[in-house]
Amino acid sequence: MTMTRDPYLLTPGPLTTSLRTRQSMLRDWGSWDSDFNAITGRIRERLLQIAHAAGTHECVPLQGSGTFAVEAAIGTLVPRTGHVLVPQNGAYCQRIARICRVLGRQLSTLDYAEDAPVAAGDIARALAADPSITHVALVHCETSTGILNPLAEIAAAVAAAGRELIVDAMSSFGALDIDARAIPFAAVVAASGKCLEGPPGMGFVLARRAALERSGGVSASLAMDLHDQWLYMQKTTQWRFTPPTHVVAAFDSAIAQYLEEGGCPARRARYERNCDILIEGLTRQGLRSFLPAAIQAPIIVTFYAPDHPQYSFKSFYNAVKAEGYILYPGKLTTVETFRVGCMGQLGERGMVGAVEAVGKVLAQLRAAA
């Protein structure tokens, strides 16, 4: 096959962005210029509006990947004497636990199988058993499998116990509704290159204003101190240190397109269509998805690797890439899998084409036996 376009990124970020978003990166910006500062201000306002959090929370953007923002949130909002409970059912929960250890925060974990969602009752019992726990850090949609954890129920359990909740919403924000009016949280963390379909390079934290106000001096890092970043932005409208100007401008464009499309309901509906086409199509090709439908988020789907003696992910990946689609390796430790993202500017034809491409490569694999 001769490629006539860039391949579709069937990954959970970076993902395939629109031409309009990419064109937004063609202009250079001065990081102290008032026009650029207006872009930053508009992004901050719109992100709060998406979460219905404008009256209660502050949006603090941060240079870097989503993990930078997660670490900044924990390092700023959890006191150095704080104690974090991390329920674990995937690699990104485990990463949060590692962040807590590196930052020197006391840590407890609740461990689940990779195909089992976190249970709010388990959280409630753990908090009742240990009053020293101050925070719960939850991954909403665990990107290593695509599992969806029950955010509303867990948030209610944490609030009932009088503790604080930090939500890693990296792979859910913008496609799965997170409403600050109904879901109590100290912070929600996400990034530009996920469901809002911007380029990677900027994280952000929606932090409850009261929690942010009392976090001064907590962070042991200069660059990742959200409190200091927030105060500086409030005072000057500027970033403290050089921002990723092209990424910020493109993210602003991506958010505008998101709102034009219809916001969260429309974005979720599009991803759900992609997910349905993907699972139905690859099931017909003889592949099995890892999760049952009840706990599968329409963001990324994990599939068992083909049961074939000559299968290797690298060869499979390269063959599907030659057809114009880039897959994602599996991240499970117990079984061999691969992952396919439902996010990004694909359109139904894009996902149908992905199913056809995988089917073609599987047919070639089986014919070679």
- Tell how far CA 178 is from the center of its chain: 13
pLDDT digits (tens, 9 = 90+) for 40-65: 999 999 999 999 999 999 999 999 99
pLDDT band at 348 (very low <50, low <70, confident <90, very high): low
pLDDT band at 156 (very low <50, low <70, confident <90, very high): very high
Q: Which residues span the domain enclosing 312?
A: 8-15+264-367
pLDDT digits (tens, 9 = 90+) for 220-264: 999 999 999 999 999 999 999 999 999 999 999 999 999 999 999
pLDDT at 352: 94
Beta carbons within 8 Å of 118's beta carbon, 6+ residues apart: 87, 89, 110, 112, 138, 149, 150, 154
pLDDT band at 335 (very low <50, low <70, confident <90, very high): confident
pLDDT at 334: 77
254 and 310 inside one domain:
no
The per-residue b/e assignment along 80-107, b for 16 or more CB within 10 angstroms, e otherwise, is: eebbbbbbbbbbbbbbbbebbeebebbb
pTM: 0.95
256 and 331 inside one domain:
no
* 178 vs 356: CA distance, rounded Å: 34
pLDDT band at 2 (very low <50, low <70, confident <90, very high): very low
* 288 vs 278: CA distance, rounded Å: 11
86 and 205 inside one domain:
yes
Residue 2 forms part of a structural domain: no
* 105 vs 217: CA distance, rounded Å: 15
The 3-state DSSP class for residue 112 equals coil
The CATH number given to whatever domain includes residue 292 is 3.90.1150.10
